[in-house]
Structure 1
Amino acid sequence: MPAAEVAPLARPLAWRGRRQSRLAVSVVFTLLVCLTLTSSPSLAFELFGLRLWGSKEEQTDPVPDPLPYKPELVLATPDKDLQKSLETASLLISEEKQLPSGTDGLIARALSDRERIVATLYTSGYYGGTLSIRLAGTPLEDALESGQVSSQRPLPVTISVDQGPLFRFGKISITGTDADAATAGLQADPVHWGLKPGSPARSSEILSAEKMIITSLRDKGYPTARIADRVIIADHKTKLLDVELKVEAGPKATFGQVSVTGTDRTKPGFVSRQAMLPVGTVYSPEEISKARKRLEDLEIFSSINFIEGDISPVDGIMPITIEVSERKRHTIGAGSTFSSTDGLGLEAYWTRRNLFGRGESLSFDSTVGRIGATSADDMEYSAKVTFEKPGAFGPLTTFTTSLEAAQDSTDSYTSRNVTFEAHLSRKFSDRLTGRAGGELFYANEDDVFGHGVFLLAGLPASATYDSRDDKLNPSKGIYAYLFGEPAYDTLSGNSMMFMESTVSSYLALDRAKRFILAGKVTGGSIIGPEIQEIPASRRFIAGGGGSIRGYTYRNVGPRVDGEIAGGRSLLTMSGELRLQFTKTIGAVAFVDAGNAFEGTLPDFSEGLKVGVGAGLRYFTPVGPLRLDAAIPLEPEEDDPDFAIYVGLSQAF
C-alpha cells in the first residue's frame, strides 16, 4: 500500500515520528486553524475560499425582484481578441449570474455597458465604431424612456458592435508648459514613450505614455509633475489620430521634516527612524517605496500611507507625513496532524506584537507528536519562546533570541535537546540579508552508536539572497542560502564545522509564465571528529518531502548494521517542469536525486538515490495547493512503494 506524507498548510509542525514500512498503511490528514483574537462573539473558518463551518461576517442580501436574462455580444467584423476584450468589459456578460433587481437594475447595467464598451473600443484603436443594445428587441433608449421590457424570461439581451476601421497615430507632440520641464530634461520624442506614428492608435498606449512621462519626472525629483493638457483629434477621413500632450513638471523638491500620525502604542520617533527617509536629499519615489517596505516588515501596522506635503516656494522642501494604522497585537494559532503509524500531532502558538512600542514581539510555540504511541519515550515534544527586537543597532538590524526544548524521535535516533540562540540579522538590500550570533546546544541522544551527551557552543552565521518574484509560486529569480557554524563540544573537547548551502533557480519558458523550469541544489558538509562524536540530530540524512521525494522521511544515508547513522556530507538535486493550464489548475513533473555520505565531501561511489513523480496544482490567492505523488527508484526495505505529499506553495 502507498505511504502518505502530508505537509502542513500553514506553520509546519516541528515534530517528526517513526516512518512507515513498505507495507504500512498511512494516511495523514492536516488541518491548521489560525485564529486572531477579536471581539467577535462567533467564529467562522474558511480555507482556500471554502467555508467549513460558521457563517461569514457579511452576508449578501437577496436581490429584490431578480430578473434573469441571456446576453449575447455580436461583432460586425469577427475578431477573437476584440470579442474577448469587449465581453470582459461588459457587465451584462461578466455579471450575468448576478441577477439585476428588476427592469431598472437591468437598464442601469446596460447603460454602464455603453460607456465601458466604447472605452474598450478606444483602448483597442477603434474610434468610429457604433453600438446598440436591445432588450428583447427593444432599443435601450426606448426601454429607458418607457421603463418597460418584455415579460420573456430569461430576457434576451443583444449587444451589437460595429468596431469600424482601425485608427493609427498621426502627428504626436509632447511639450513642456513650464521652465521646470526643460530643466528636468523632458524627452520630447514620442517614440521614446512608445507612441510611434503609423502604429495602431490604442488609447491605452497614450495613457501608458503619460504614466511613463510622469514617473520619469517624479524619479528626477519632481513630485507634482502632471499632464497639464491633452488634445486628441480623430480624423475620420484619414483614419489618423493626432495627439498633443502638454507636460507640467512643477518644482523640484527635497525631503523635509517627517511626521507620524495614527499611532496608538507605537512610538512615533521609532516609526520615522525605521522609515529612514533621507531628509535633505532630492525627492525620490524609490526612497518612499523602500521606507514603506521597511515599515511593512515590522508587521505591526495594518495600513501605511505616505502623504506628501506642499513644496516650499523658497527652498523646495517638502514635508512628509507617515499615516499608519496599528494592527491587533495578538495572534493565536493551532494545528493538528494525524497518521495511523505516527499517531496524532498537535501544535499551538501565541504571538504578542509591539510589546514596548518599538516593534518588539514575543512568541510561544509548542508541539506534541506521536500521541497514542506505546510510551512517552516514543512521543515528540517541542516548546519554544522567541523574543525579537527590530532596530536594535540601527533601523536595518534586528536582534532575536530564543530558547527551545525538544524531544525528537525517528527510526535512527532519539534526541532530547535544548537550544539557546541569540543573533543579529541585517538587511543589506531588498534581496540580501545577513545573520550572525551565538548558540548553545545541549543534547542527550540514543542512536545506532549508543548513548551520547553533547554540549555545543557555536557561532552560526548565514547569508540569504532572494530575487524571486513570488515566494510561494516563483516564475523567475534566484534563491540562495549559505550557512556556516564553527562549534565546540565542551564535554568531549571536539571542534567541528557545520556548513550548508541551497540554490534554487526559476525560468519562465513563455511570456504568459505558464511553463516554468525550476531547479534546486542543496549541499552540506561537517568537518570534525568521527561520525559517532557528532550529535545524531545534526548529521545529514536525506529523504522525504523537501529532499528526495518518494523515500521515507530521513531514511537515505549511511547505515550501520542496517540502521540509518547519518553522514558528514549531503548533496540533493531537484528539477521540475511546472505547467499552468488554466487560472486555477496546473501540473508538475519532477525528478529528485541525492544522498548523504560518510565523508566530509560527497563520494559518488556510494551512489545516488533517485525519485520521480508528478503532481497537480490548484492555484489560490495565498499560493498554489500542492498534491504530489513520487516513486522511489531504489527503495530500501523500509521505504514505501510510492509516497503522496500535500502542502501549500510549490515544493521549492
Structure 2
Amino acid sequence: RVFASYFGAKAKGLWNLVYDRRVALQLLQYFYQENGYLKAKISNPVINEDETKRLIYITLKIEAGAQSRVASIAFSGNSHFSQEALLADLELKPGTIFSWPALSQARVNIINKYRGAGFKEITVEAGAEARKDTPDYEVNFTINEGQIYRISQIELTGLRRARPAFVSSAAGLKPGEPLSLERLAQAQKNLYDTSVFQAVNISSEPEEEKNYEERVKVSLQENPWLSLTYGLQYNSETYFEGLGQIDFNNLFGRGWNSLLYFRANAKQQEARASLKVPYIFSRKTDFLLSAYYSKYDKDSYTTEEIGGSFQHKIMIVRGFNLSWVYKLSKIHDYEENPIGPFPYDVKVTSSEFSILLDRDTRDDRFDPRRGSLLSVSLSYSPRFLGSSLSYFRSFSQFTMYRDIGRSFIWASCYRLGLASAFGDILIPSKRFFAGGGTSIRGFKLDAVGPVDIWTGLPEGGEATIVINEELRFPVYKIVRGVVFFDAGNVYSTLRDFNPLKLRTGAGLGLRIDTPVGLLRVDYGFNLKPRAGERRSSIFFSLGQAF
C-alpha cells in the first residue's frame, strides 16, 4: 500500500524497491514515523533471483521499535478559546499516536480556528519533548492571539433590482462581526446559491481611522431578469419530446424566482408554474409554491391531474437535504377507448403529505463517472385531510458510480416502491410500473408485471423492485460501450411482494458523445420470455439510462 502509487514512481508496487530503492525506503520510513514509530530502522532490501522460476525474492528487515503516543497537551497564551475548545478541533489528543506531521497539522488547525474568529495576526508555536524513560511525548502550544479584526461596514455595488436587505441577509455578513477569509468565502458562496447573481466578488480593506476594522466591498453582477430555455429530444419509447421553460429571476428584488415550464411528447403533457421564496423578512425560508397540470397516456388508461403544492426544504446534515411537501390535487383516471364491458372512469381528490430525503454526490448530472445519488420519498394521503382515497406510497432509489481501473466505470441502480390503499383499490396513477429503456431493458415500456384480464395490458401494482448493473468502457474516441444486466418485477399487491421472484434482461449498448449530448443505443434481451413477449428490444435516447 505504501508503494502502490506515488508521484513520479518508476514502477508499480513493490517493484519500486528494485528500480527506485531510495525513494521507496524514504516513503516506508515516513509511513512508520507517521504512525508513531519515530525510531524505526529499515535496512536496505536483499534481493535474490530465481532464474529458473523467473521469481525475485525481496527480504526487507524492519526494526519498528516502540510506538510513541501523546502523554499530555498544554496551551499557553490562549484567552479567547478555552483549552477544551481548542482540543475539540484537534485529532492530536492525549493517548493518541504522536508524530511530527500530526503535530504540524494540529498547529495549522489551531491557526485556522483563530483566523476564522477574526484573529488575522495569530501565531502559534508547537513543540514536543520526550517524556523521560518512555517513548511518549509531552506536547505544548504557545499562542499569541493578537487582536480581533471586525467588519466596520459593508459596501454594495452593481445592484440593479436586488434590495440591499436581501443581499445582506443572503451573504450572512453584519457590521461588528469578526472578519475572516473563511466568512468572506462563505458569503460569496451564499450569494451564488441564491441563483440571482452571475458574478460575485468580495474583498476587504483597512479603515484609515479605525484600528482592527475593515470595510467589506461586495461587487455584484445580476443575472438577466428573464431567460428562455427550450429543447427537443427523442427516444424510442415516447418519440419526439419538446420542452420549454421561462425563468423570472429576482422578483421584487427579494431573490424570489419563478418559472413557467412545459413538456410534451406522444404519451405525456405537463405544464407547471412555480415560485421559489428563499427569504421572507430577511429570514431564510426555502419555500417552493407550485401549480401544475399533467396528462399521461398509458396503454391501459389515461390520467389527468391538476393541483398545487407547497414545499419547504432544509439541510439536516452536510450533503443531505430534507423536504416536506403538501400537495392538493384532482386526479381523473379513465379509459379513452374502453375495451372491456366495464369502462374505467374514476375521479379522486388527493390531499397528500410527503417527506423527501436526497443526497447527490455525482460529478455530473447527465453523464456521471463517480459519486452517488440517494432519494427517498414517503407520502401519505389520509381522509381527514380531505382525500377521497386514503393511501400510503413510498419510493426509494440509490445509484452509485465507481471507477474500475483507469477507463472502466461500474454503474449500479436500485429502486424499491411500496404502496397501499388500506384495503381499497389503489388507482392506476398511484401504482408502480416497470420495463423499458430506463428500467428493465429487454422489455417494452411498462411491460413487466400483472396485466388486465380484459385488455391484456399492464395494470401496474402496489410494489416494485428494479436492479440495474452496468459496465461502461471506452471503444474508440467519442464512442463508448456498455454491457448491462437488469432485474426486477411489479407485484399486484403488497402481499405478493417477493424480491426473489424477478424478471431479467441483459444486453449491450453504445454511448456516443455528440455536440447535442450523449446518444444512447441499447439492445436488451428478455432472458426468460413468456408467451407473447418479445425476445429483445432496442432503445434510443439522449443521456445515460440512469
**Do both share a fold (TM > 0.5)?**
yes
Residue in structure 2 matching 1:498, options 393, 396, 405: 393
Q: Are 1:611 and 2:499 counterparts?
A: no
How many residue pairs get aligned? The number is: 427
Q: For residues 157 and 429 of structure 2, what CA distance do their matches in structure 1 show?
A: 49
Residue in structure 1 matching 2:436, options 539, 544, 548: 544
Contact residue 207 and residue 213 of structure 2 kept, 8 A: yes
Distance 1:255 1:544, change over 3 A: farther
In the TM superposition, residue 256 of structure 1 has moved relative to its aligned partner by 5.4
In the TM superposition, residue 472 of structure 1 has moved relative to its aligned partner by 3.7
Query: Which residue of structure 1 lines up, in the alignment, with residue 251 of structure 2?
Result: 355
**Aligned ranges for residues 388-407 of structure 1 at < 5 Å?**
388-392=276-280, 396-407=284-295
Superposed CA offset, 1:312-331 (max 9, x none): 89764444322210111222
Query: Which residue of structure 2 lines up, in the alignment, with residue 387 of structure 1?
Result: 275
In the TM superposition, residue 552 of structure 1 has moved relative to its aligned partner by 1.9
Contact residue 570 and residue 602 of structure 1 kept, 8 A: no
Q: Are 1:517 and 2:410 counterparts?
A: yes
**Matched residues, percent identical?**
25
Contact residue 585 and residue 618 of structure 1 kept, 8 A: yes
Contact residue 629 and residue 645 of structure 1 kept, 8 A: no
Q: Are 1:274 and 2:170 counterparts?
A: yes
- Letter of the 2:541 partner, please give it: V
Question: What TM-score do you get using the length of structure 1 for normalisation?
Answer: 0.56
Residue in structure 1 matching 2:262, options 348, 366, 376: 366
Contact residue 549 and residue 631 of structure 1 kept, 8 A: yes
Q: Are 1:441 and 2:317 counterparts?
A: no
SS of 1:420's equivalent in the other structure is: strand
Contact residue 437 and residue 539 of structure 2 kept, 8 A: no
Q: For residues 615 and 191 of structure 1, what CA distance do their matches in structure 2 show?
A: 53
In the TM superposition, residue 250 of structure 1 has moved relative to its aligned partner by 9.2
- Letter of the 2:545 partner, please give it: A
Q: For residues 295 and 633 of structure 1, what CA distance do their matches in structure 2 show?
A: 52
- Letter of the 1:519 partner, please give it: S
Query: Which residue of structure 2 lines up, in the alignment, with residue 572 of structure 1?
Result: 466
Which segment is superposed worse, 316-325 or 387-396? 387-396
Distance 1:567 1:278, change over 3 A: farther
Higher RCO, 1 or 2 (CA under 8 Å, sep at least 6)?
1
Superposed CA offset, 1:589-645 (max 9, x none): 322211121222662288312222333445689986544433332456465722223
Query: Which residue of structure 2 lines up, in the alignment, with residue 419 of structure 1?
Result: 307
Residue in structure 2 matching 1:306, options 189, 202, 224: 202
Superposed CA offset, 1:525-560 (max 9, x none): 1122457x3221111111223322332222222222
**Aligned ranges for residues 570-649 of structure 1 at < 5 Å?**
570-580=464-474, 586-600=480-494, 603-604=497-498, 607-618=501-512, 626-635=520-529, 637=532, 639=534, 641-648=536-543
Q: For residues 401 and 578 of structure 1, what CA distance do their matches in structure 2 show?
A: 40
After superposition, the CA RMSD in angstroms is 4.4
Contact residue 396 and residue 426 of structure 1 kept, 8 A: no
In the TM superposition, residue 273 of structure 1 has moved relative to its aligned partner by 0.6
Question: What TM-score do you get using the length of structure 2 for normalisation?
Answer: 0.66
Q: For residues 410 and 340 of structure 1, what CA distance do their matches in structure 2 show?
A: 15
- Letter of the 2:374 partner, please give it: A
**Aligned ranges for residues 125-140 of structure 1 at < 5 Å?**
none
In the TM superposition, residue 446 of structure 1 has moved relative to its aligned partner by 1.9
**Aligned ranges for residues 112-123 of structure 1 at < 5 Å?**
none
Contact residue 381 and residue 390 of structure 2 kept, 8 A: yes
In the TM superposition, residue 413 of structure 1 has moved relative to its aligned partner by 1.4
Query: Which residue of structure 2 lines up, in the alignment, with residue 483 of structure 1?
Result: 377
Unaligned runs of 5+ residues in structure 2 are 1-7, 10-76, 87-98, 124-143
Q: For residues 208 and 495 of structure 2, what CA distance do their matches in structure 1 show?
A: 65
Distance 1:491 1:320, change over 3 A: closer
**Aligned ranges for residues 155-174 of structure 1 at < 5 Å?**
none
Q: Are 1:460 and 2:354 counterparts?
A: yes
SS of 1:494's equivalent in the other structure is: coil
Query: Which residue of structure 2 lines up, in the alignment, with residue 45 of structure 1?
Result: none
Contact residue 477 and residue 506 of structure 1 kept, 8 A: yes
Q: For residues 257 and 429 of structure 1, what CA distance do their matches in structure 2 show?
A: 32
SS of 1:269's equivalent in the other structure is: helix
Contact residue 466 and residue 487 of structure 2 kept, 8 A: yes
Q: For residues 347 and 505 of structure 1, what CA distance do their matches in structure 2 show?
A: 28
**Aligned ranges for residues 119-268 of structure 1 at < 5 Å?**
192=101, 253-254=149-150, 257-268=153-164
Q: For residues 480 and 568 of structure 1, what CA distance do their matches in structure 2 show?
A: 22
Contact residue 551 and residue 643 of structure 1 kept, 8 A: no
SS of 1:564's equivalent in the other structure is: coil
Distance 1:340 1:651, change over 3 A: closer
Q: For residues 316 and 297 of structure 1, what CA distance do their matches in structure 2 show?
A: 30
